[in-house]
Amino acid sequence: MTHRRSPFTLTLLILIPCVFIYQIAIVLIGQRTDLAGPPVMLTWKNDMLQYQCLGNEIRNRIPEHDSLYVGNGSASLLAVELAIVASPDHPIVAQPGEAKWKLHLVPSSNGCYGLSLLVERVGSP
Amino acid sequence: MMFLLIVVLSSLASIVPCIVLYGRSPLALVLAPLLTALCAALAAQMEVAFAGGFLPWFLGTVAVVNAAAGLLHFRCRNAMAEKKDRASWVEGWWTILVIAVVIIEVALPLLELRYPLNTVDGLATYYLHTLFISAGHHQIVAALQNPALFFMNQNYPLLDPASQVAAFIVRGEPDARLGMLVIGWLDLCALLVVVVGLVAIVPEWLSFKAKVFCVVILSLFAVVGIALDASYVLSGDADLLWSACAVAAIVYGTLLPRTRGNACVAALGILVIAVTKNEGFVTALFLAAVLVWRYREELMLTQAHRGTVQRVCIAGLAFLVLTAPGLWWELYVIKNHLSAAFFNDLHHSEPPLTRIWPSLVSIGHFLAVGILVVGIWLLAPPQTRLSRRKLGIPTSRYLWLTVLWYLGALMGTYVFGVLEIHYWLLSSTNRTTIFPVLLFFVELSIWFIVALAAILGERQVTVKASQRDEL
């Protein structure tokens, strides 16, 4: 056996593609699991619907309103869009579907990005 | 349909400069969108620094770049034709094959990774930037200097949002999803450039089947990049984009032969990363110095008759050209006191010493593959190292120095930053470690090529010997 077909060289040839595939698989499988999890967790707290930090979308719960994508508790497309046209002192009332929701921008509890989102139901669905 | 139109337009806008600088290669088609994105970033910087709207600056920048390329082509046609060197065997249909295989391999992960628009950077930073850039000079300047909007990371470079704004011009209105698809397309272009560069390392004497096998395996590099960025690929984040461009700069600038085309690709990578993210700018400073050093002969820095001052001036000028767009933005940030959310004094956090260990643990968690790479490097027998040298593959010293430089800068950011460390690490190290992990996979790719070439080389020799015996 020459150095070229040494166990080391053969190991590299087999091992390296496996490492590539392993790296791809662990991330993608993790992502698929994440996507398959509960879409969103909403809890009521003092008549306020509070979005929980699951990193998934609220769209299925408040359908047919393209701007109602909620971020992971601190900032989101919705918060961003609202930040442009409103301020915490002037909340916007949206009407997704038949329900009425009042959206509040409040200081984030983690203090990092300045915005959190509270969704208050002000009408019956 | 709109996205496909933007893909075509982004290539057409800069195809002429890419062909002039790199040559008539299908690779120019994927380099062009990156150059267009660079033009968009420069246009946004001029909008911020001077006046007016994005569109005239963008059109003007694209026109100037195309005119300069045309001028270069006609004025230096003879000189460039004489110096045209064959960079590698990966030309024409081989490049098309590589691009096709990569697109096929990444298709499934991209479909799986369609994700809600919910990332902080993608929306609170980049999408918000796009809206203000679209609104014109006064709006973007006011937004960048508004303390209430510090959460949008006002000091972030502008390539990502500017590329989205360029797409919004075609569409006629802002569209967050379209913008994020555009960034995903730029990610893919950067990864394609890297994969073509990796395939170019494969020795030309391998058989057709062996080359195709290499293309299939090395194309997995792009899938690894997509997987590492995971849900952020289609969320408008710039982490994979700058990381892949930086890797392209290293592959073309330090691992492939010194040619005009390879130098241009490396330079484009450095220019792009310097205006994409702040950590990209820090990396660009190092890579620019490396590129100038490696091409010192071409820059005539080694000629004996040149004095030290002359050499320093030439090297400094080359360095400045490579980093100018990034330096411009960083100077603007400093001059106008734009908020750096990671270092401002709005937060109270732990002292630096208590931040070191969590930072090491969190970063180290994502660098596990580095242990394997170091192990291979340590255990590789001398003959395997010799095989690598015989293939003409340079040592990876610049790659490793870049890893150390970047990790040092990253550790410094976490240790001396002010955000609450555990939240910060939890929300960012998966993205900030993409660049070193990709570099580890570049090193793995090289060892794979060395191993395959060693084994097939032996087989080739053995077959020839057996044929000789038969005769």
pLDDT digits 0-9 by tens, A4-24: 568 888 999 999 999 998 888
CB pairs under 8 A between A and B: 149
CA distance A108 to chain B (A): 11
Q: Within a 10 A sphere around the Cβ of B104, how many other Cβ atoms?
A: 11
Of residues B176 and B19, which shows the higher confidence score? B19
pLDDT at B380 over 80: yes
pLDDT at B466 over 70: no
Residues B23, B84: contact at Cβ < 8 Å? yes
Q: How far is CA B51 from the centre of its chain?
A: 30
Q: What is the pLDDT of residue A47?
A: 35
β-pair type (A42-45, A48-51) = antiparallel
Q: What does the alpha-carbon distance between residue B160 and residue B100 come to, in Å, rounded to a whole number?
A: 26
Of residues A72 and B330, which shows the higher confidence score? B330
- CB atoms B127 and A12 under 8 Å: no
pLDDT at B468 over 50: no
Residues B98, B83: contact at Cβ < 8 Å? no
Q: What is the pLDDT of residue B470?
A: 41
Q: What is the pLDDT of residue B84?
A: 53
**Which of A13, A69, A110 shows the shortest C-beta gap to B448?**
A13
- CB atoms A77 and B176 under 8 Å: yes
Q: What is the pLDDT of residue A31?
A: 58
Q: What is the pLDDT of residue B128?
A: 84
Least confident of A93-97, B325-329, B341-345: A93-97
**Which of B124, B217, B423 shows the shortest C-beta gap to A80?**
B124
Residues B420, A110: contact at Cβ < 8 Å? yes
Q: What does the alpha-carbon distance between residue A6 and residue A9 come to, in Å, rounded to a whole number?
A: 5
- CB atoms B227 and A80 under 8 Å: no
End-to-end CA separation in angstroms for chain B: 63
Of residues B112 and A86, which shows the higher confidence score? B112
- For residue A74, the SS3 value is coil
- Sorted by sequence, the CB contacts under 8 Å of residue B168 that are 6+ apart come out as B130, B134, B174, B175, B178, B179
Q: How confident is the model at residue B332 (pLDDT cuts 50, 70, 90)?
A: very high
pLDDT at B350 over 80: no
- CB atoms A10 and B124 under 8 Å: no
State residue B259 phi and psi, 5-degree precision.
-135, 165
pLDDT tens across B261-290, in order?
899 999 999 999 999 999 999 999 999 999
Question: Residue A91 carries which DSSP code?
Answer: P
- Chain B partners of A80 at a C-beta cutoff of 8 Å? 123-124, 127-128
Q: What is the pLDDT of residue B243?
A: 95
Q: How confident is the model at residue A72 (pLDDT cuts 50, 70, 90)?
A: very low
Of residues B470 and B440, which shows the higher confidence score? B440
pLDDT tens across B221-241, in order?
999 998 887 767 777 889 999
Give the mean pLDDT of A25-39.
Answer: 55
Query: What rounded mean pLDDT belongs to chain B?
Result: 85
Q: What does the alpha-carbon distance between residue B452 and residue B213 come to, in Å, rounded to a whole number?
A: 10
Q: What does the alpha-carbon distance between residue B133 and residue B199 come to, in Å, rounded to a whole number?
A: 39
pLDDT at A92 over 70: no
Q: What is the pLDDT of residue B122?
A: 76
**Percent of chain B, pLDDT > 70?**
89
CA distance A83 to chain B (A): 9
pLDDT tens across B52-106, in order?
889 999 999 999 999 999 888 887 766 555 455 555 777 778 888 889 998 888 8
Q: What is the pLDDT of residue A124?
A: 46
Which candidate, B4, B427, B102, places its Cα nearest to that of B232? B427
B453 to chain A: closest CA residue: A4
Give the mean pLDDT of B369-393.
Answer: 88
Query: What rounded mean pLDDT belongs to chain A?
Result: 48
- Sorted by sequence, the CB contacts under 8 Å of residue B244 that are 6+ apart come out as B187, B190, B191, B193, B194, B225, B438
Q: How confident is the model at residue B115 (pLDDT cuts 50, 70, 90)?
A: low
Position B34, amino acid: L
Q: What is the pLDDT of residue A39?
A: 33
pLDDT at B411 over 90: yes
Which candidate, B109, B33, B431, places its Cα nearest to that of B238? B431
Q: Pick from A70-74, B104-108, B274-278, B364-368 the range whose average pLDDT is largest.
A: B274-278
Of residues B368 and A89, which shows the higher confidence score? B368
Each domain of chain A, given as residue ranges in start order, spans: 1-37, 42-121
Give the mean pLDDT of B382-391.
Answer: 85
Strand (E) positions, B4-60?
none
Least confident of A84-88, B32-36, B56-60: A84-88
Which candidate, B173, B318, B302, B153, places its Cα nearest to that of B237? B153
Measured at the CA of B453, the angle between CA B449 and CA B454, to 5 degrees, comes to 115
DSSP B369-399: HHHHHHHHHHH--HHHHHHHHHTTPPPSHHH
Q: What is the pLDDT of residue A23?
A: 85
A35 to chain B: closest CA residue: B115
Q: What is the pLDDT of residue B436?
A: 96
Place of tokens 């390539």: B159
